[in-house]
Amino acid sequence: MTARPRIAVHKFSSCDGCQLAFLNAGEDLLTLDRLVDMVHFAEAGPVDEAAQVDIAFVEGSISTQADAERIRRVRERSGFLVTLGACATAGGLQALRNLADGAGWLAGVYAQPEYIDSLATATPIREHVRVDFELWGCPVNARQVLATVRALLFGVRPVADHQKVCMECKRRQAVCVLVTGRRPCLGPVTSSGCGALCPRFGRDCYGCFGPSESPNTDALGRRFEGLGLTPESIARRFLFINSHAEAFAEAGHKWMGKHDEKA
Footprint on this chain of another protein (rule: CB under 8 A): 11, 13-20, 23-24, 26-27, 29-30, 33, 38, 42-47, 63-64, 67, 92-94, 96-97, 100, 102, 105-106, 108-112, 115-118, 122, 138-139, 141, 194, 197-198, 200-203, 206, 208, 233, 236, 240-241
Nearer to another protein, 90 or 93 (CB): 93
- Which DSSP category does 212 fall into? -
Nearer to another protein, 20 or 153 (CB): 20
- Which DSSP category does 258 fall into? H
Nearer to another protein, 16 or 260 (CB): 16
Q: What are phi and psi of 230, to 5 degrees?
A: -80, 155
Helix or strand run (H / E) with residue 8: strand 6-11
CB of 159 to another protein, least distance (A): 22
Cα–Cα distance for residue pair 49/56, rounded to 1 Å: 11
Helix (H, G, I), strand (E, B) or coil at 241: coil
CB of 20 to another protein, least distance (A): 5
Nearer to another protein, 149 or 208 (CB): 208
CB of 130 to another protein, least distance (A): 23
CB of 53 to another protein, least distance (A): 16
CB of 231 to another protein, least distance (A): 14
Nearer to another protein, 157 or 257 (CB): 257
Cα–Cα distance for residue pair 249/1, rounded to 1 Å: 38
End-to-end CA distance of the chain: 58
Cα–Cα distance for residue pair 230/182, rounded to 1 Å: 15
Q: How deeply is 156 buried, as exposed, middle or buried, from its count of CB atoms within 10 A (0-12, 13-18, 19+)?
A: exposed
Q: How deeply is 60 buried, as exposed, middle or buried, from its count of CB atoms within 10 A (0-12, 13-18, 19+)?
A: buried
CB of 102 to another protein, least distance (A): 8
Nearer to another protein, 68 or 132 (CB): 68
8 Å CB contact between 196 and 214: no
